[in-house]
Amino acid sequence: MRILLTGAFGNVGRSALAELVRRGHHVRCFDLRTPANQRAARRLAPPAEVAWGDLRRPADVAAAAAGCDVVVHLAFIVPKLSATGVESEARPDWAREINVGGTRNLIDAMRALAQPPRLIFASSLHVYGRTQDQPPPRTAADPVRPIEHYARHKVECERMVRASGLDWCILRFGAVLPLAMKLDKGMFDVPLDNRIEFVHTLDVGLAIANAVESSRVWGKVLLLGGGPPNQLYYRELNRRILAALGVGELPAGAFATQPFATDWLDTTESEALLRYQTRTLDDYIHDMQTVVGYRRHLIRLLRPLVRWWLLRQSPNWRRAARRLPVPGQPARVAVVTGASGSIGRATALRLAREGYAVVAVGRDQDRLDRLVAEVQADGGQAAALAVDLSDERACEQVFERATRLYGPADVLVNSAGFGWYGFGETMPWPTALEMLQVNVVAVARLTLLFLASMKQRGRGAIINVGSVVGGLPSQGAALYAATKSFVDTFTTSLFRELRGSAVTVSVVRPGAVRSEFFDRAARLSAGRRIPGAGLAVRPETVAERIAGLLKRPRRYVYVPGILRIVPWVELTLGWLIDRLGPVALGWKARGGAKSGSG
């Protein structure tokens, strides 16, 4: 039988592949061409073959499905780090393109064939959501209540499969742990008193192979679990595996307390049809010890270090170690604008690690969502506000919505801004007006809004991100330099007004920073690439200086510190810049690459 196996080099994919090949089926392995997958593919032998491709490309999917009798669709972006390095919950729209869009492409390709193959779709018990308040077990007839993007994608795909007109079977997997030396931080997401049903990955591979050869599974939704011997509480499952690996039981405080989407399953029908429940947790532990081999002795030897590293992966443990407030309790609040850009993003992550509840403000909703997911995965608190600060009304929205989210702000970081490079007279007025709105008006409006609230409460800090060019007027950046000069003067004046109070205002004056600033400047109408990218510092360096200003307030700080000489450069060498500046800009205009804003 010719079988297409998507996601063939994943956890379940490898188990299914091994069993199908053992039985003599011709298996076409469809997966992304990653280094790890290529290494796995080198071990393949006939009758298996590889078809590299992307589920988002219909042509790749159509070529892979051609000539197959059965399609086993396993490929899916999951809620933990996948082979792509990104999880479904951090980038839901991107994950949906692969999970839902890819499944749609696969169904379309199968239906277009003269003899459409049958389809086995791998789903998950996550579709039931949190069910710890209900008596077990879960059945195939139970209502689905997905609580995460991954599970919602599974439910949507199940509906497509049922409506496809193909011969189909849906398998909802229980907890399938990989046979690999990998302790994932997702282990801390499950409360210790949560019901969980373990099923050995090799048994799932056996079930899939039996389903491929069965005539009785089509049109059925079957639950795959290890059966009553493998119906456990997570405390026992976790304790036994960690003990077998030499790590030992971890503190209860490292684990979540909110119920997780796992439960015990009614596998009566699936076992009767597929005869796959052959292994228990004891078998898995034995297999894991074989995989780990001599490294178990190293783990025991380095046990304190291993336990320390593991506990660092736990959001709850990090929160307790840093005395961070639990969600829902008061926290220090930081509002960071430009958080979808490099400096703002790095600053938001740094302040979240410092214990602040961060309100991330920016234009790009997708980038903000990823930032929030990263903060939350690290045990912090964050919320996204997608607004366009070139609209003055957005400033009031930021102030009001941020206050509603977490309460009055303790810190405001004005990082939003962009640049443009070229002869002043060629700068389109709409670009100039937008720059004034974002770099000047928004900074002033937000500063004054939050300042009034901070003074009333008797504490707070405002940090405005300026630029070294604010004190060094530069050819090609006339308006941008002027906006940053405004930020310098505005901040300095407020700093002097607030001397002696518990509210501080500071300005950070970075030089070139590694970011999309240069590329964005190059994309704006009539603009050119800003020079200096090769000397740029990391955005994390700027974020570190911003965090330092909260501990030791000062009127200004340069990044890097050597740029403190800039005022003296203008004072002593301004005459030379007057002469060389136009020459450099003219050369750039004649031979330099055309560019835009950043």
Q: Considering only CA atoms, which of 348, 464, 337, 357 is closest in space to residue 403? A: 357
Q: Would you give the DSSP letter of residue 98?
A: I
Catalytic residue among 421, 480, 556, 558: 480
Separation CA 19–CA 208 (nearest Å): 9
DSSP conformational letter for 384: E
- Closest CA relative to residue 207, chosen from 158, 281, 272: 272
CA distance 507 to 463: 6
Alpha-carbon distances, residue 583 vs 162, 426, 531 (angstroms): 69, 17, 14
Contact criterion met (CB below 8 Å) for 592 and 529: yes
Taking the CA of residue 311 as centre, how many other CA atoms within 13 Å lie in the half-sphere pointing to its CB?
20
What is the rounded CA–CA span in Å between residue 359 and residue 357?
7
Q: What's the 3-state SS for 405-458? A: HHCCCCEEEECCCCCCCCCHHHCCHHHHHHHHHHHHHHHHHHHHHHHHHHHHHC
Neighbours of 58 (CB within 10 A): 17
Question: Over the Cα atoms of the chain, what is R_g?
Answer: 29
Please, what is the end-to-end C-alpha distance for the chain in angstroms? Answer: 56
Answer whether 463's CB lies under 8 Å from 561's CB.
no
Q: Which amino acid is at 117?
A: P
Q: Two tokens at 84?
A: 């792509």
What single-letter DSSP state applies at residue 326? P
* The one-letter amino acid at 476: G
DSSP letter, residue 248 = -
Query: Residue ranges of the alpha helices (H) in 71-113?
Result: 92-96, 102-111
To 5 degrees, how large is the angle CA 66–CA 67–CA 69?
115
For 356-397, give the DSSP string. Answer: PEEEEEES-HHHHHHHHHHHHHTT-EEEEEE--TTSTHHHHH
Q: Is 356 a known active-site residue? A: no
Identity of the residue numbered 580:
L
Whether omega before 428 lies within 30 degrees of 0, making that bond cis, reads: no
Catalytically annotated residues: 480
